[in-house]
Amino acid sequence: MATTLEQDRPQLAAGRTWASKGLVTIGTATVILFVLSALLDRASVSGTSLSGMLPIAAVLAIAGLGQMLVVQQGGIDLSVPGAISLALVVITHVPDGDSSKLGVAVLIALVLAVAAGALNGLLIGTMGLNPIIATLGANAVLYGVNLQISGGRPRITTRLMGDIGGGSTLGVPNSVFFAIATLGLVTLVVKRTVAGRRFEAIGANQRAARAAGLRVRTHRTATYVWAQLLYCLAGILVAGITSQPTAFAGDTFLLPSIAVVVLGGTSLLGGRGFPLPTVIAAVFLQQLVQLVTVLGFSAAISPLVQAAALAVGVSLYTIDWRSILARRPRPPAAAGAPAAGTG
């Protein structure tokens, strides 16, 4: 046991260094962005703008944490849009304006989320399907259930859900408190429990984890269930933030949920995940989109901004720039200079 711990220490130290690198990088970028926003257009950092940006950033942070869990297992979850959209449709259509039925609607949404997570876990963990193909198919199923419930028509949210999801406490949007609580829970479970350490070990090397006797299939299935529960929470909050959300509101969260994970420093190859940088990246990305909008650019450019942020994140944490710079060609020797080893 002592030998194993000694062997693990360099890896743990490298993980802490990578975590601090991601936190410093995205933290610094966020501070610079807010300073730049204030210089370019103060309206983008006004109280009104922040009160409109932070709720969506909180929803993105929660969805990003769910996506982070999947990415830690070396996958990509494309069922985010269907999961968020289905949750908000259930929350708005089942009560149909009656706040007394909100509890039943939340319970139904949670049950559907667990079922969707179990479906993904079955397809990926048991049947061995590619995560992209499996989650894309699950997304189609979720949208099928969505249309069966809603018919593609929006409904007005209940007053209670509006107060919970769209209200504020001490001037801070309630959705921000939900995001902070989710961050604390994910960090505690993944970083401070035995199950969390096993989860990260499986993501880093499934073959070695299976040889060590870890239940790889169980952990992978549980990953998709937990991710769906976080998407469900995000959808519920969207139903509270927006008085009449569309039945396809989750579509706007797919690319950003991946981008914030990458910007936060979590490798697309799996292994260690970094919850706090992921949440900060959600604030960064949403403020970036808001700045672009305030500066007068078309709303259609937002996906391009998000794609660019994803590309930058991949290049920062995946490409070894030191090795590339070290391989720069040396200047040619001066004419007439003696060759090495002669004379």
Pairing outcome for strands 172-173 and 168-169: antiparallel
**Alpha-carbon distance 49 to 290, whole Å?**
8
Mean predicted confidence (pLDDT) in 44-68: 92
What is the per-residue pLDDT across 288-328, written as a single tens digit (0 to 9) for each? 888 888 877 766 677 777 777 777 776 766 665 556 656 66
Q: What percent of the chain has pLDDT over 90?
A: 47
Tell me how crowded residue 244 is: count the other CB atoms within 10 A of its CB.
10
Q: Are 29 and 283 in contact (CB under 8 A)?
A: no
Q: How far is CA 340 from CA 75, 84, 317, 337, in A?
A: 52, 67, 39, 9
Say what the pTM is.
Answer: 0.86
Q: Which residues pair with 169 in a beta bridge?
A: 172
Q: What is the pLDDT of residue 72?
A: 92
What is the per-residue pLDDT across 58-103, written as a single tens digit (0 to 9) for each? 999 999 999 999 999 989 999 999 999 999 999 999 998 889 999 9
**Alpha-carbon distance 30 to 285, whole Å?**
9
Mean predicted confidence (pLDDT) in 36-62: 90
**Alpha-carbon distance 329 to 343, whole Å?**
26
Q: What is the pLDDT of residue 324?
A: 62
Q: What is the pLDDT of residue 48?
A: 85
H or E element that contains 169? strand 168-169
**Alpha-carbon distance 328 to 343, whole Å?**
29
Task: Assign 34 a pLDDT band (cuts: 50, 70, 90).
Answer: very high
23-32, 210-219, 298-307: which has the minimum mean pLDDT? 298-307
Mean pLDDT of the chain: 84
What is the per-residue pLDDT across 105-155, written as a single tens digit (0 to 9) for each? 999 999 999 999 999 999 998 888 899 999 999 999 999 999 999 887 888
Task: Assign 232 a pLDDT band (cuts: 50, 70, 90).
Answer: very high
**Residue with more model confidence, 339 or 311:** 311
What is the per-residue pLDDT across 73-85, written as a single tens digit (0 to 9) for each? 989 999 999 999 9
The structural domains of the chain, ordered by start, are 17-318 (1.10.3470)
Q: What is the pLDDT of residue 5?
A: 36
**Residue with more model confidence, 252 or 323:** 252
Q: What is the pLDDT of residue 25?
A: 85
